[in-house]
Amino acid sequence: MDEKELIRSAIDAMSRAYAPYSGFQVGAALLTKSGEIFQGCNIENAAYTPTNCAERTAFFKAVSEGRRDFAAICIVGGKGGVLTDYTAPCGVCRQVMREFCDPETFRIILAVNEEQYREYRLKDLLPVGFGPENLA
């Protein structure tokens, strides 16, 4: 799976964002270790706090379909769906990643377009995290 395909998928997912309050549209493409992609978009709510981020939409779709082995996620976002800068995952989404992904190897790709992207490992975006093994 090359990065460009994952970036294209995240941009496609962003087109389905439901963001009438912030106007900030986000798309995510979550890659499983077996090569499947689960897309997600942000879904806002008039009561604000029920809003779900694009990343969590993708994770919850995948986990609810029985997938738990993930290799990478690509995230794109911008006001009105115009991509001008990198959109990093919020703290809550980083914690959801921590539940299912290996901090050492899980790749987080932040993209502006197919040519302009940055890649991080979960351990760098969520250092000294709390995870399932803490409760084992």
Site for ligand THU contains 14 (CB under 6 A): no
Cβ distance to ligand THU smaller for residue 6 or 53: 53
Site for ligand THU contains 30 (CB under 6 A): no
* Count of other CB atoms within 10 angstroms of residue 109: 20
What residues are labeled active site? 55
Choices 61-69, 86-94, 110-118, 126-134 (CB under 6 A): range interacting with ligand THU: 86-94
Rounded Cα distance between 29 and 132, Å, is: 24
Cβ distance to ligand THU smaller for residue 65 or 90: 90
Half-sphere exposure at residue 10, Cβ-oriented, CA atoms within 13 angstroms: 33
H helices, E strands: number in the chain: 4, 5
Q: How far is CA 76 from CA 21, 60, 79, 85, 131, in A?
A: 18, 18, 11, 9, 26
Cβ distance to ligand THU smaller for residue 8 or 44: 44
Q: Are 134 and 112 in contact (CB under 8 A)?
A: no
Cβ distance to ligand THU smaller for residue 6 or 34: 6
Q: Which member of 22, 45, 105, 113 binds ligand THU (CB under 6 A)? A: 22
Q: Which member of 1, 24, 61, 63 binds ligand THU (CB under 6 A)? A: 24
CA torsion 123-24-32-105 (nearest 10°) is -10
Which residues of this protein are in contact with ligand THU, per CB under 6 A? Answer: 19, 22, 24, 26, 42, 44, 51, 53-55, 89-90, 93
